[in-house]
């Protein structure tokens, strides 16, 4: 097929909510069907899903043990829907889910069943965001955090986590979306396991740009080299100071003394000429 006859990708920005059932693979086959059916009913019943679906601004994609909801109307759509789902799940503790939100380019494709589907970076990164969370978490990427942060009512609900390494060595910075009653306020296990303290893996100003691991390794190596040089200079200066002090203490002390000669009466001192005259007289 020539380049001119190839169809161009129709990219658009999709606001994606990715949902995953935690512990799905550990359930029995009939339990898996029951939990997935229950989650589907809860999602379809949310007001945000019904409104976007009625306006033709929503695409629902099955994802094995979960689903992806692509909102085309507003970046607030996935966040509002996630909070509605979290509220509904309070009455269904047997259904444990984690959710990830990202806004990015998506494009429509035709799958193997000749049905319309969605692919693109927006879907992929939303799944990576979700993968960093645990049961109850609603994690959002940098782009979503920046968009929602422009609204006063969302700002108190966004809690920066820092950066997290995901598939293929990529690093994404995230925020945790929760209220006093909804969501999971605890740090995700991936952050706690990264350094054993629960601190952010890599500090970040506003959540979420994607960077590569080698750059971080280079910065860490330069920092270590600078530290070693500083320690070497300090030890060298201390050694020189110590040697100078020891040299000063070991240097011989020059003392001055005064010689005291016996006193002789001037009258008894005779010159050689006087002694010679006296000798001749004799």
How far is it, in rounded angstroms, from Cα 78 to Cα 69?
A: 8
pLDDT at 242: 57
pLDDT at 212: 41
pLDDT at 167: 84
pLDDT at 265: 52
pTM: 0.66
pLDDT at 230: 75
Q: What is the mean pLDDT for each group of 10 consecutive residues in the chain (282 residues)?
A: 54 92 92 93 95 92 89 93 96 94 88 72 93 96 95 96 88 95 95 61 38 55 76 69 58 52 51 53 54
CB atoms within 10 A of CB 17: 28
3-state secondary structure the chain: CCCCCCCCCCCEEEEEEEEEECCHHHCCHHHHHHHHHHHHHHHHHCHHHHHHHHCCCEEEEECCCEEEEEECCCCHHHHHHHHHHHHHHCCCCCCCEEEEEEEEEEEEEECCCCCEEEECHHHHHHHHHHHCCCCCCEEEEHHHHHHHCCCCCCHHHEEEEEEEECHHHEEEEEEEECCCCCCCCCCCHHHHHHHCCCCCCCCCCCCCCCEEHHHHHHHHHHHHHHHHHHHHHHHHHHHHHHHHHHHHHHCCCCCCCCCCCCCCCHHHCCCHHHHHHHHHHC
pLDDT at 246: 58
pLDDT at 204: 39
Any residues with CB less than 8 A from the CB of 164 and at least 6 apart, and which?
132, 171, 172, 173, 174, 188, 190, 191, 194, 201
pLDDT at 110: 73
Tell the CATH topology of 12-218.
Alpha-Beta Plaits (3.30.70)
pLDDT at 52: 94
Any residues with CB less than 8 A from the CB of 125 and at least 6 apart, and which?
102, 104, 141, 172, 210
């Amino acid at each position: 097929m020539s380049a001119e006859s190839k169809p161009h990708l129709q990219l658009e920005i999709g606001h994606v909510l990715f949902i995953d059932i935690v512990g799905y693979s550990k359930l029995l086959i009939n339990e898996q069907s029951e939990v997935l059916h229950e989650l589907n009913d809860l999602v379809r019943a949310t007001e945000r899903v019904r409104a976007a679906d009625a306006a033709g601004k929503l695409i629902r994609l099955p994802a094995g043990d979960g689903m992806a909801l692509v909102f085309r109307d507003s970046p607030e759509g996935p966040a509002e829907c996630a909070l509605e789902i979290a509220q509904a799940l309070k009455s269904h503790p047997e259904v444990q889910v984690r959710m990830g939100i990202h806004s990015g380019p998506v494009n429509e494709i035709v799958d193997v069943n000749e049905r319309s589907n969605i692919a693109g970076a927006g879907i992929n990164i939303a799944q990576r965001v979700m993968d960093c969370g645990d049961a109850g978490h609603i994690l959002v990427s940098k782009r979503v955090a920046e968009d929602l942060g422009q609204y006063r009512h969302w700002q108190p609900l966004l809690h920066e986590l820092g950066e997290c390494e995901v598939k293929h060595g990529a690093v994404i910075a995230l925020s945790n979306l929760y209220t006093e009653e909804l969501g999971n306020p605890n740090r995700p296990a991936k952050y706690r396991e990264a350094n054993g303290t629960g601190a952010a893996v890599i500090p970040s100003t506003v959540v979420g740009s994607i960077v590569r691991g080698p750059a971080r390794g280079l910065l860490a190596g330069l920092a270590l080299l600078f530290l070693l040089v500083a320690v070497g200079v300090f030890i060298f200066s201390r050694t020189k100071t110590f040697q100078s002090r020891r040299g000063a203490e070991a240097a011989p002390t020059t003392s001055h003394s005064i010689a005291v000669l016996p006193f002789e009466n001037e009258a008894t001192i005779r010159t050689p000429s006087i002694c010679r005259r006296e000798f001749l007289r004799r």
